[in-house]
Amino acid sequence: METLAIEKKDLYTPVMATIDRVEQLTGTEKRFHIVLPHGKELNHKPGQFVEVSIFGFGEAPISVSSSPTRKPGFELTVRKAGRLTEKMHTFTSGTQIGIRGPFGNGFDLEKFKGKDVLFVAGGIGLAPLKSLIEYTMDVRDDFKRLIIVYGTKSPSEILYPAEIEEWQKRDDVEFHITVDRADDAWKGNVGVITTLIPPLKLDVENTMVAVVGPPVMYKFVVMALKAKRIPDANIYMSLERRMKCGVGKCGHCQINNSYVCQDGPVYHYPIIKELEEAI
Amino acid sequence: MNSQYKNLSELKRYFFDQETARRFISFLMKKAEVIAPHSKGEKSFAYQVTTDPDQVVLNYPRTIQPLKKFFLPPRETLLEYDLEKNAIKKPELEPKDRIFLGVHSYDMKSILLLDYSFKKGNPESNYLTRREKSVFIGVSYQSDEYHLAEDLGIDIHDVSGFSLFLDPVEKGFLVFEVDEVGANLLNEFDAGLPIDTPLEQDFSERKPKLKMHHKRLPQIFEHIYHSPVWKKVAERCVGCGTCNLLCATCYCFDVRDEVELNVKEGKRERYWDGCMLNPFAEVAGGENFRPTLDSRTRHRLYRKFKYLTEQTGELHCVGCGRCSKYCPAGISLIEIVNDLIDDYNKQQKQAVTLV
């Protein structure tokens, strides 16, 4: 049958990569630095994800948290949230792990070039955004202001203390952080992430916004951005869904007619407005 | 008039009496594996590999399971792994000659639609390898209360996808030669000479089951996303997922790792999943993005009448009637769609009144 004359792909076999560094970040999050075999690079875009494979445990979609500019290898930040991620947390340097991908669209970097960039990160949403943040810092001249707002539950859950210290020191990056609940040592902002947005001085027409956080966060962040009169067309957000296969087949990640693993996970806000199930 | 009969009338046709038909099945069995409907119990039918031509049933309303299981098995090993060596092996799949005999036009259509889904974007080798060397021989059927295919534009005598097509007549079958593969089979079998008298045409009128022409259906799905019909269906639905599993065009799957008792080896297996099942859209953090039966019912129907239709221009419900016939709660797809049409018409009337 002539309609079947098409190149067939083996879609589900992972490559065996090696974990070469593990770092405990918080009580529930670790980061893993991973290298592919034969010196290959992942060549991902900020915002893309991989399917991590642990035999006997299955696969899970995990965002790449490092910038493609920082080679060799790549970094995954993993929260202990189920059987597979609990197992992954027992892994030490030298452990082999299966990787498929990168999958998804990633951020449309062309749209961010020459603009101010506002990063809005809630909780572990900072992991995928860190890829974009590092990228903009590494090709700093391509972008104007870099403004990061980051909200997390408590000071002990701050994901990347070392990086954040560095970002705070830089005079070409504006960094704002808040926690929902302070502890005795905390001297910074207390309150949800949306409290950081109203005080920002923004050139709204020329500010591109990248939002990643827990599902509950998006509506409120959009309201805060609209209150600032940021045009809808300047907003991009990355959505979490159950990307089981990563190749647009299994159906689990579907939002209305959109497969998050193919058309997302990064969505332009005008598209999200058309997707009833999105946020 | 029935447009597909016009189609048939352009094809070369032969007459096989019952004995010739039986010999033809034996001939096919020598060429390849022949998969055909067989009786299962008193009133049920299933596609299975033929070992005896006399066991093949060509007069049946529908099989319980659609054809998809031969291309997307209910359970399939994607990988085998050795946990001690952390090594993986992909099971080899070879294309196999298979003849599917006695297939109804809606089931054929479902395979053509699945072809799209598995070729699109990332062409999947597992499905396409199984699909590669398949030949289909169709048969006409008597529509029952659950069939909706004709209302959805798939005629009983639609020959698209088939190599040969059988139409039962008194004392045997008319055998229509649809494509070259079919012509070669008939030639090799020595089917004799084609019939050269004009085909008698059936002008009988069919009473429509749907309240709207199928070409307009995708358009009404633009307007009924928030219809009360979804909640009404959800009140009866038990969320068992039978409609997904038996749907001829549903292909969603899950993947699970199974470890042997020796804890040294295991398999990564894929198996059918269904969007009607509660955990389908749940993520690791516990968030469920489609937590209610009405939202899942809507998603199932939108996949059949809108989402894929926007890409292919075709309805992805083939009207086989399995979801309705085997629904333990007695939910009828025909009723749902007609209720949606009523709701749409009501909305339109209100809009006119407002103007």
d(CA A129, CA A117): 12
In sequence order, the 6+-apart residues with CB closer than 8 A to the CB of A41 are A68, A71, A72, A73, A74
What is the number of domains present in chain B? Answer: 2
Does residue A45 form part of some domain? yes
Chain A, chain B: beta-carbon pairs less than 8 Å apart: 125
Cα of first residue to Cα of last residue in chain A, in angstroms, is 43
My answer on whether A222 and A163 are in the same domain is: yes
- Angle at the Cα of B269 (from B268 to B272), degrees rounded to 5? 150
- pLDDT at A214 (0 to 100): 93
Yes or no, beta carbons of A250 and B268 under 8 Å apart:
no
Does residue B17 form part of some domain? yes
Q: Which of A252, A256, A258 to mutate to test the interface with B (most CBs of B within 10 A)?
A: A252
d(CA A179, CA B14): 80
My answer on whether A196 and A136 are in the same domain is: yes
- pLDDT at B351 (0 to 100): 82
Residues of B with CB below 8 A from A82's CB? 284
Tokens representing A195? Answer: 């409290």
Tokens representing A214? Answer: 């827990």
pLDDT band at B285; cut points 50, 70, 90: confident
Does residue A89 form part of some domain? yes
- Angle at the Cα of A128 (from A232 to A270), degrees rounded to 5? 15
Kindly state whether A272 is in contact with chain B, defined as any CB-CB distance less than 8 angstroms.
no
Yes or no, beta carbons of A245 and B253 under 8 Å apart:
yes
My answer on whether B153 and B12 are in the same domain is: yes
My answer on whether B309 and B342 are in the same domain is: yes
What pTM was estimated for this model as a whole? 0.94
Mean pLDDT of A120-126: 97
My answer on whether A57 and A25 are in the same domain is: yes
My answer on whether B171 and B269 are in the same domain is: no
- Could you say which of A8, A58, A241 has the minimum Cβ distance to residue B123? A8
- B208-221 per-residue burial string, b: 16 or more CB within 10 A, e: under 16: ebbebebeebbebb
d(CA A125, CA B345): 45
Task: Kindly report, residue by residue over B117-138, the tens digit of the pLDDT.
Answer: 999 999 999 999 999 999 999 9
Task: Kindly report, residue by residue over A170-215, the tens digit of the pLDDT.
Answer: 999 999 999 999 999 999 999 999 999 999 999 999 999 999 999 9
Task: Kindly report, residue by residue over B1-16, the tens digit of the pLDDT.
Answer: 344 454 788 899 999 9
My answer on whether A117 and A194 are in the same domain is: yes
Whether the per-residue pLDDT at B310 is higher than 50: the answer is yes
Does residue B201 form part of some domain? no
- pLDDT at B85 (0 to 100): 87
pLDDT band at A62; cut points 50, 70, 90: very high
Cα of first residue to Cα of last residue in chain B, in angstroms, is 39
Q: What distance in Å separates residue B152's CA from the closest CA in chain A?
A: 21
Does residue B125 form part of some domain? yes
Last residue of a domain, one of A103, A136, A152: A103
Mean pLDDT of A159-164: 96
Does residue A273 form part of some domain? no
My answer on whether B33 and B152 are in the same domain is: yes
Q: Which of B122, B133, B264, B280 to mutate to test the interface with A (most CBs of A within 10 A)?
A: B122
- Domain harbouring A93, CATH code: 2.40.30.10
| Angle formed by the axes of helices B333-354 and B229-236, nearest 10° | 160
Does residue B96 form part of some domain? yes
By the 8 A CB rule, do B319 and B248 touch?
no
d(CA B274, CA B249): 12
Domain span holding position B234: 214-349
Whether the per-residue pLDDT at A3 is higher than 70: the answer is no
My answer on whether B47 and B103 are in the same domain is: yes
My answer on whether B140 and B277 are in the same domain is: no
Kindly state whether B279 is in contact with chain A, defined as any CB-CB distance less than 8 angstroms.
no
Assign residue A184 a region: left if phi > 0, alpha if psi is -120 to 50, beta otherwise?
A: alpha
Does residue A58 form part of some domain? yes
Does residue A277 form part of some domain? no
Does residue B280 form part of some domain? yes
- Domain harbouring A171, CATH code: 3.40.50.80
- pLDDT at B303 (0 to 100): 97
Task: Kindly report, residue by residue over A203-254, the tens digit of the pLDDT.
Answer: 999 999 999 999 999 999 999 999 999 999 999 999 999 999 999 999 999 9
Residues of B with CB below 8 A from A214's CB? 285
Tokens representing B331? Answer: 């939910």
My answer on whether A80 and A185 are in the same domain is: no
By the 8 A CB rule, do B212 and B220 touch?
yes
My answer on whether B243 and B183 are in the same domain is: no
- pLDDT at B350 (0 to 100): 87
Last residue of a domain, one of A103, A134, A152: A103
Yes or no, beta carbons of A60 and B284 under 8 Å apart:
yes
My answer on whether B138 and B51 are in the same domain is: yes
Does residue B207 form part of some domain? no
Q: Spell out the alpha helix ranges (H) of chain A.
A: 83-88, 109-112, 126-138, 161-169, 217-227, 260-263, 269-274
My answer on whether A114 and A206 are in the same domain is: yes
My answer on whether B126 and B230 are in the same domain is: no
Last residue of a domain, one of B154, B189, B224: B189
Q: For chain B, how many residues are written?
A: 355
My answer on whether A220 and A120 are in the same domain is: yes
Beta A146-152 vs B33-40: how paired, if at all?
unpaired
Average pLDDT, chain A: 95
What is the number of domains present in chain A? Answer: 2
pLDDT band at A96; cut points 50, 70, 90: very high
My answer on whether A96 and A124 are in the same domain is: no
Does residue B267 form part of some domain? yes
Nearest CA in chain A to B270: A250
Domain span holding position A132: 109-238
Q: What percent of chain B is modeled with pLDDT above 90?
A: 85
Tokens representing B22? Answer: 């039986």
d(CA B343, CA B355): 19
Q: What percent of chain A is modeled with pLDDT above 70?
A: 98
Mean pLDDT of B262-278: 94
Kindly state whether A83 is in contact with chain B, defined as any CB-CB distance less than 8 angstroms.
no
Task: List the one residue out of B312, B295, B338 whose CA is nearest residue B249.
Answer: B312
Lowest-confidence region among B2-11, B86-95, B342-351: B2-11
Q: What distance in Å separates residue A81's CA from the closest CA in chain B?
A: 6
Yes or no, beta carbons of B254 and A248 under 8 Å apart:
no
Question: Which ipTM was obtained for this model?
Answer: 0.91
Task: Kindly report, residue by residue over A73-85, the tens digit of the pLDDT.
Answer: 999 999 999 999 9
More confident residue, A184 or B355: A184
- B251-280 per-residue burial string, b: 16 or more CB within 10 A, e: under 16: bbbbbebeeeeeeebbbbbbebbbbbbeeb
Whether the per-residue pLDDT at A126 is higher than 80: the answer is yes
Q: What is the DSSP string of A239-253?
A: -----SSSSS-S-TT
My answer on whether B244 and B135 are in the same domain is: no
Q: What is the DSSP string of A101-137?
A: EEES----HHHHTTSEEEEEEEGGGHHHHHHHHHHHH
d(CA B162, CA B185): 13
Does residue A155 form part of some domain? yes
d(CA B136, CA B105): 10
Tally the C-alpha atoms within 13 A of residue B267's C-alpha that lie toward its C-beta: 10
Q: What distance in Å separates residue B341's CA from the closest CA in chain A?
A: 21
Mean pLDDT of B86-102: 93
Where are any strands of DSSP class E within B226-294? 253-259, 265-272
My answer on whether A144 and A221 are in the same domain is: yes
Neighbours of B153 (CB within 10 A): 17
Residues of B with CB below 8 A from A7's CB? 123
My answer on whether A123 and A229 are in the same domain is: yes
Does residue A272 form part of some domain? no
Q: Which residues of B, range 115-154, sit inside 8 Å of A by Cβ?
A: 115, 117-126, 128-129, 131-132
How far is CA B349 from its chain centroid?
36
- pLDDT at A5 (0 to 100): 63
Where are any strands of DSSP class E within B21-107? 33-40, 44-49, 75-82, 87-89, 98-103
Task: Kindly report, residue by residue over B199-236, the tens digit of the pLDDT.
Answer: 877 777 889 999 999 999 999 999 999 999 999 999 99
- pLDDT at B202 (0 to 100): 72
Beta A116-122 vs A146-152: how paired, if at all?
parallel
- pLDDT at B355 (0 to 100): 65
Task: Kindly report, residue by residue over B25-82, the tens digit of the pLDDT.
Answer: 999 999 999 999 999 988 899 999 999 999 999 999 999 999 999 999 999 999 999 9
My answer on whether A178 and A228 are in the same domain is: yes
My answer on whether B160 and B231 are in the same domain is: no
My answer on whether A123 and A230 are in the same domain is: yes
Mean pLDDT of A104-123: 97
My answer on whether B223 and B129 are in the same domain is: no
Last residue of a domain, one of A103, A118, A140: A103
d(CA B299, CA B233): 13
